[in-house]
Chain A
């Protein structure tokens, strides 16, 4: 088991390297392939008085003229050892972990990411709790009461949930609950948990529910389908043959097996979400990683986009790793040696 963890960890690190390499290449190579010159790329970062030579020297300072692998090498080195950025006027130190330096807002990207992460984590975890509880619960009950009104109604609602874009439901909910009824905080009113837990929850409750509604739908459907399949398994029959009551059969024998696929999907979903709930954050103007990325893309602030993408990828990879390790806990058949 221990060896397995180590092996998976190493695998995750390698994966992260590859992902970062590809991401880096896409952001710095694709524009070049598409016809942008290094001067084009550098011209975003120079002042208004810059002439051709100044732009070119900026491109050189930024390292755009170096081969891509050297640029990438510097970037990776920065993550571990920190990096120095020559803005032309001064050399700015970006302490480790340095996920790049924005020449547009003139600050290292990492502190921003850390700052925004709190919002995204708050949003993602809160919503996850709600959708897990509701999604899995509804799915189980639906499976056990297959064909009943509850089953049809909840599956209908679940389908509606996955059939609506979140910015639609989000805006609708804001219209009704914030501006119409005044029950919840308007969009864009985020408060840190540490500052005021009540306001924090108040500002997030609507995004939580909206996001959870969307996801719960999928989980309910998945849980129901898996549950139906599981309840037809031989071991369920065995459990019944032992004379166990139905509750024990469902919870201890049925649900336990449903956990594995739920866990897989949940890990992936949460990982993706932690890297920035782009649509939800945009809809509710929550200053999380997703909003940060979208804003950065609008202002063409590549280092920020790269930073968020890498953090997002890291979350996904970590989530996958955790899921894999949890497999071992949940499913003893997954043998590690």
Chain B
């Protein structure tokens, strides 16, 4: 779950609200593998490398409309951050720098090979590459990795990062190396380091896809001696090809080559530019304008351009030729809250499913360029996903007749009144709310629109069942992206009712034992193909409950300045692969 954290950033005020970073698939399944191309044209960097190059040197200029959650590898959760962090840190595993679906495959990075599981899938062992050094020349050992993972468990200090290790490691009550009795902060029993090149993870429950965990930035080694806790983000010690030269939090930073990075130990990274500059908190529309004018190379957030630039690019063939429009593993959807009457009745929920005009939903996100209409939760780019359309309508514009029938079945033939919540700074979600208000209004379902601060949407408002119920939030607009492109990475956090907490949820509405059962089945399925099918069954089960109204599978329109070389969209992140990029001058 690259959950709401990923999507938190917002350009303030009227200025544009940025859309999101995303993971997952590139423009369907056409995968021409590594065949390079220099021919320009729309989508030239999808599924293939555009303008391939090995030319080193130059400065790669990047900008961010918002700011990092944190540059600390143990405390970051944005997709673009996980993509970018590979420039200054090496985790055990990583997504392969390759176009299309290849890019969604894991490859060893700091580890010599993929993890070796025990038979019960509860113990995973990795060997660490020899000769990898920190930027100060110190050799990286397995203890540095253990320490890094241990500290990332401390969610009081590092609240932003994912919690998979907290959930899956056999912690035995361990909380934080900062409260450790071991002076070296290595008191965690769930990770063992029999020698400097071996690290062993012990899980509390079996898990087949642990390599994905090993690919998270929290396995990027952190030297205990240099760890400054919350301040480590100001001076991260690099293991990758670049190190921080300057770092002004909230404003800008620059990366320069790390002399202690040895290409011989790293088969994955090209490390073409000599220098990388990053400007933070730049107006999103300005970023687009500068991309188009050539003053900037990359919008690091990787969610595509703003509506204004989108219209500009689409209207101009020359600009359009330099753009890519990949599909992401991200879903824009609306939760239907069964806690709020009469939505506790499935027929009333179905009425909403039928009445909603999905074309309006799509328009809210920028039309066909902004996304494809979704009929179920699991995005098509995730392997194994099936087309599920339980509430079909002509042209996806809604089926008023069926909706009215459902309303009658629900005992509300004249419709009913409820509230719809959206995130205040998200203008696209506002447009969704307005659109649903119109289309549901056709069958007499009257929506009152309510906005809540984006930052606290999950913690205090929509994600807090008590609040949602007492405030009559029948519908709650939301969005979701996969942490990694598979069924587990996408569905678990938004469909499992057992993970629902008093506040701070990511699953706002899907509470059904049948769905939970389907999840359990999928989690314990060992065969990959069967597992993919099982997750699709979870998707179907969730749709049958009608607790979620899928809206749009996100697409972003990316502008690709001429200066860039070696450009391709990786399905691992649904962004340009930042480890591969180079510049012409």
Quick check: do A and B touch in the complex, using CB within 8 A?
yes
The reply to whether B15 and A89 form a contact with Cβ atoms under 8 Å apart is no
Q: Which residues of B contact A187 (CB under 8 A)?
A: 283, 285-286
A285:B455 contact, CB within 8 angstroms: no
* Chain A residues whose C-beta falls within 8 Å of the C-beta of B460 in the assembled complex: 36, 40, 43-44
State the majority secondary structure of interface residues on B: loop
- The interface size of chain B toward A, counting residues with CB under 8 Å, comes to 44
Report Cα–Cα, A50/B502, bound state, in Å: 11
A49 at the B interface (CB under 8 A): yes
State how many angstroms separate the Cβ of B7 from the closest Cβ of chain A: 13
Determine whether the beta carbon of A43 is less than 8 Å from that of B459.
Answer: yes
Q: Is A48 in contact with B230, judged by CB distance below 8 angstroms? A: no
Q: How far is the CB of A147 from chain B (nearest CB, A)?
A: 41
CB of A194 closer than 8 Å to a CB of B: no
Distance of A283 Cα from B283 Cα, bound (Å): 9
Interface pair B157/A88, CB less than 8 Å apart: yes
Given A43-B459, A44-B456, A48-B163, also A186-B157 (CB < 8 A): no
Known: A89-B179, A90-B229. A47 touches B12 (CB 8 A): no
Whether A223 is near chain B, meaning CB under 8 Å from some CB there, is no
Q: Which residues of A contact B251 (CB under 8 A)?
A: 115, 287
Pairwise interchain contact A299-B455, C-beta atoms closer than 8 A? yes
Q: Which residue of A is nearest B229, CB measured?
A: A90
Interface flags for A36-58 (1: CB within 8 Å of B; 0: not) read 10001001111111111011001
Complex CA gap A186/B155 in Å reads: 39
Question: Are B230 and A167 in contact (CB-based, < 8 A)?
Answer: no
Q: Which has the most chain A C-beta neighbours within 10 Å: B10, B14, B455, B502?
A: B455
Give complex CA distance A282, B283 in Å. 9
How many A-B pairs with Cβ below 8 Å?
Answer: 113
State the Cβ distance, B494 to closest chain A Cβ, in Å: 15
**B321 on the A face (CB < 8 A):** no
Inter-chain contact B456/A300, CB cutoff 8 Å: yes
A156 within 8 A of B: no
Minimal beta-carbon separation of A308 from chain B (angstroms):
13
CA separation between A284 and B282, bound complex, in Å?
10
Roughly how many angstroms separate A302 CA and B289 CA in the complex, as a whole number? 33
Residues of A close to B425: CB separation below 8 A: 298
Q: Which residues of B contact A221 (CB under 8 A)?
A: none
User: CB of A335 within 8 A of chain B?
Assistant: no
A74 to chain B, nearest CB (A): 20
In chain A, what residue has the closest Cβ to B68?
A105
CA A306 – CA B295 in complex, angstroms?
37
Report how far A189 CA is from B156 CA in the complex, Å: 35
Q: Determine whether B253 belongs to the interface, using a CB cutoff of 8 Å to chain A.
A: no
Residues B230 and A87 in contact, CB atoms below 8 Å apart: yes
List residues of A (103-135) whose CB comes within 8 Å of B's CBs. 104-107, 112, 115
Is A229 interfacial (CB-CB < 8 Å)?
no
Measured CA separation A210–B141 after assembly (Å): 57
Chain B contacts with A in 229-245, Cβ cutoff 8 A: 229-230, 233
Interfacial chain B residues near A88, Cβ < 8 Å: 156-157
Task: Check if A227 is an interface residue, CB within 8 A of chain B.
Answer: no
- Say whether A89 contacts B453, CB under 8 Å: no
Interface residues on A, range: 35 or more
Q: Is the CB of A112 within 8 A of B250?
A: yes
CB distance from A117 to the nearest CB of B (A): 14
Q: Is B413 an interface residue (CB 8 A)?
A: no
Q: Does B84 contact A (CB under 8 A)?
A: no
Interface residues of A in 146-198 (CB under 8 A from B): 167, 179, 186-189
State whether A282 and B504 are in contact (beta carbons under 8 Å apart), knowing that A46-B156, A89-B154, A295-B281 are contacts in the complex. Answer: no
Name, among A47, A54, A87, A112, the residue most crowded by chain B CB atoms within 10 Å (CB to CB).
A47
Find out whether the CB atom of A49 lies under 8 angstroms from the CB atom of B155.
yes
Mask, B141-161, CB within 8 Å of A = 1, is 000000000000011111100
Chain B residues closer than 8 Å to A89, beta-carbon distance = 154, 156-157, 176, 178-179, 229-230
Q: Which residues of B contact A54 (CB under 8 A)?
A: 156
Asked whether, in the complex, the Cβ of B281 is within 8 Å of the Cβ of A287, the reply is yes
Check: B503 CB closer than 8 A to any chain A CB: yes
- CB < 8 Å neighbour of A298 from B163, B179, B454: B454
Interface presence of A228 (CB below 8 A): no
For window 88-106 of A, CB contacts with B under 8 Å fall at 88-90, 92, 104-106
Q: Quick check: is A224 within 8 A (CB to CB) of the other chain?
A: no
Q: Mark A250-294, 1 if CB is under 8 A from B, else 0.
A: 000000000000000000000000000000001011010001001
3 pairs of A and B residues whose beta carbons are closest in the complex = A47-B155, A88-B156, A285-B283
Q: 21 A-B contacts, Cβ less than 8 Å apart?
A: A40-B460, A43-B503, A44-B459, A50-B155, A55-B503, A87-B157, A88-B156, A88-B157, A90-B230, A107-B249, A112-B250, A115-B251, A179-B289, A186-B289, A187-B283, A188-B282, A287-B250, A291-B281, A294-B13, A298-B13, A299-B454
17 A-B pairs besides A43-B504, A47-B159 with CB distance below 8 A are A36-B460, A43-B459, A44-B455, A44-B460, A46-B159, A47-B155, A87-B156, A88-B157, A89-B156, A107-B230, A179-B289, A186-B295, A287-B281, A299-B455, A300-B453, A300-B455, A301-B455
- Interface residues of B, Cβ cutoff 8 Å to A: 8, 10, 12-15, 70, 154-159, 163, 166, 176, 178-179, 229-230, 233, 249-251, 279, 281-283, 285-286, 289-290, 295, 425, 453-456, 459-460, 501-504
Spell out A's residues near B (CB within 8 Å).
Answer: 36, 40, 43-52, 54-55, 58, 87-90, 92, 104-107, 112, 115, 167, 179, 186-189, 282, 284-285, 287, 291, 294-295, 297-301
